Amino acid sequence: MFRKCYWIMLEISSPRGIIGLLRQRGEEMDVIQVSGFSKNYGALQAVKHVSFTVAEGSVFGILGPNGAGKTTTMECMIGLKNRTAGKITVLGLDPEKHRHELFSDVGVQLQETVYQSAAKVFELCQLFSSMYKKPLDYRNLLDRFDLASKTKSSIGSLSGGQRQKLAIVLALIANPKIIFLDELTTGLDPGARREIWTYIRRLQSEGRTIIMTTHYMEEASLLCDQICLINQGEIVARGTVDEVITQAQIDLVITFETDGDVRSLLKDLPKMGHMKQEDSVVTIYTSSEETLTDLILKLSAASIPYRKIKITYPELEEAFLKLVNPTMKGAVS
């Protein structure tokens, strides 16, 4: 009986099984579904009616200012906190009820965990290895994360970057399908941060799904396939990085240099927001790239020479600032 069930399970999960067939047909599998999720701490509504899905093998970013509800959302997805309302499924299971079944499929790095400074790296790795039925070999993992030389060092002697890499190693020992990273790179120097990025890329290329919170927009732009931007417990934007930037409706900026005053010539450019000229430098704010074509046509028709023409697209950071604080005009100079 048991054996039969086992074979059925195997069949379902094998590459040629049902799930494999679905994937071959190009249907994206969602490994996490969150719908109408809310979490209150007493009277405080930390997260309000949040919904999103995370596709298998993707990097999903949860962004937002401090106190927006990122960590709370993540902890409810892991089952460390109970939600107030809504539905969350991780790999088809409710993390609140099936936390234990999910442990070996879900690796976690928590923002605030400080491992015992007197412990040695290999001792922590051995401890974590002892918790799982089929752990990955921690020596290989340490090697992969350039920590092999630190195997016998105490946690207290590691640098910030090394500690974060160890946190990933400990999250990986279970060989999880999904990895939760909560502000993994906060407080690291730019070099260490970039190093961590390459590791995250590599984890994704192994087919693992990664859910990360961050408040570095550059990091999110580089790594995340999908992001959701949370502010005061509510989703303010969701989608790919480009989609979120588009949602923020921030003007493109065209600048060029010319001699003489062109303000009256250009004042009727279609779709242009506004324009200014300081000495030879002209700056045009517009909602559409077509303005550039119109600009060049007009300048050519009037035989006005132009130099150093440049178009600047809004970055995620500006979109973030605008979406989180709509009264702010953004940091465009």
Partner 1 sequence: MFKTLTTFEFKLHVRNFFTMFFALAFPVMMLLLFGAMYGNEPSSLTGDRGTVDLMLPAYTCMIVAVTGLMSLPLTVANYREQKILKRFMATPIQPMQILVSQVVVNSITTVAGIGLLLVVAKLVYSVQFFGNVLTTLMAFLLVMISMFSLGLVIAGVTPNARAATSLAFILYFPMLFLSGASIPLYIMPKGMIVISKLLPLTYGVRLLSGVWLGDNLLDYGLELAVLVGITLVCVGLSTRFFKWE
Binding stretches for partner 1 (CB under 8 A)? 78-80, 100, 103-104, 106, 108, 110, 112-116, 118-119, 123-124, 126-128, 130-132, 174
Residues 135, 138, 142, 143, CA torsion sign: negative
> Nearer Cβ to partner 1, position 132 or 306?
132
CB of 83 to partner 1, least distance (A): 16
> Nearer Cβ to partner 1, position 74 or 188?
74
> Nearer Cβ to partner 1, position 162 or 221?
162
Indicate the Cα dihedral angle 200, 203, 204, 206, nearest 10°: 160
> Nearer Cβ to partner 1, position 1 or 114?
114
Instruction: Give the Cα separation of 301 and 74 in Å (integer).
Output: 57
> Nearer Cβ to partner 1, position 103 or 306?
103
CB of 72 to partner 1, least distance (A): 13
Tell me how far apart the terminal alpha carbons of the chain are, to the nearest angstrom: 70
> Nearer Cβ to partner 1, position 78 or 252?
78
CB of 89 to partner 1, least distance (A): 17
Instruction: Give the Cα separation of 189 and 203 in Å (integer).
Output: 21
CB of 189 to partner 1, least distance (A): 23
Instruction: Give the Cα separation of 324 and 232 in Å (integer).
Output: 9
Q: 40 Cβ partners below 8 Å, 6+ apart? A: 46, 84
Element (H, E) at 54: strand 44-55
Nearest of 113, 127, 323 to residue 238 by alpha carbon = 323
CB of 115 to partner 1, least distance (A): 7
> Nearer Cβ to partner 1, position 117 or 312?
117
CB of 116 to partner 1, least distance (A): 5
CB of 195 to partner 1, least distance (A): 23
Residue 164 in contact with residue 184, Cβ under 8 Å? yes
Residue 114 in contact with residue 187, Cβ under 8 Å? no
Rounded to 5°, the CA angle 12-17-21 comes to 125
Residue 281 in contact with residue 333, Cβ under 8 Å? no
Which residue in this structure is represented by tokens 């999903």? 60
DSSP 120: B
Beta pairing, strands 178-182 & 209-214: parallel
Beta-ladder partners of 258: none
Q: Is 206 exposed, middle or buried (0-12, 13-18, 19+ CB in 10 A)?
A: exposed
> Nearer Cβ to partner 1, position 128 or 197?
128
CB of 184 to partner 1, least distance (A): 14
CB of 330 to partner 1, least distance (A): 36
> Nearer Cβ to partner 1, position 57 or 135?
135
